[in-house]
C-alpha cells in the first residue's frame, strides 16, 4: 500500500477531499504517459533503467510493490 499510516499522518491537517483528488489519475492520462515512455524509450523498464538509473533489483521491487 502506498499510503500507510505514516504517510497518512502527513495529510492529517489537509481536507481529505483535497488530497484524495491528488491521488487519482484518469486512465487516459496513464495511457498517454505509457505510450510516450514506450515511444521515447522503447519500454517503461528501459526508461526506469536509462533515465532514472534504476538497477534490476530496484525495478523488480517497484514492480512487486505496484502490482501486488
1-58 pLDDT, tens per residue?
Answer: 455 566 667 777 888 788 777 778 889 989 999 999 999 999 999 999 999 999 999 9
Q: How many domains does the chain have?
A: 1
- Using CA atoms, how far residue 23 sits from 5, 47, 60, in Å, is 16, 23, 23
Contacts 24+ apart (CB under 8 A), 43-51: none
Which pLDDT does position 24 carry in this prediction? 81
User: Which residue range(s) make up the domain with 39?
Assistant: 5-67
Check if the beta carbon of residue 68 is closer than 8 Å to that of residue 62: no
pTM: 0.61
Q: Between 13 and 59, where is the model more confident? A: 59
Amino acid at each position: 500500500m502506498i499510503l500507510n499510516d505514516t504517510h497518512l499522518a502527513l495529510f492529517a491537517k489537509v481536507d481529505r477531499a483535497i488530497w484524495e483528488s491528488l491521488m487519482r489519475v484518469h486512465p487516459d492520462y496513464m495511457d498517454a504517459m505509457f505510450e510516450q515512455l514506450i515511444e521515447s524509450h522503447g519500454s517503461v523498464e528501459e526508461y526506469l533503467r536509462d533515465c532514472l538509473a534504476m538497477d534490476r533489483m530496484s525495478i523488480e521491487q517497484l514492480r512487486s510493490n505496484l502490482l501486488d
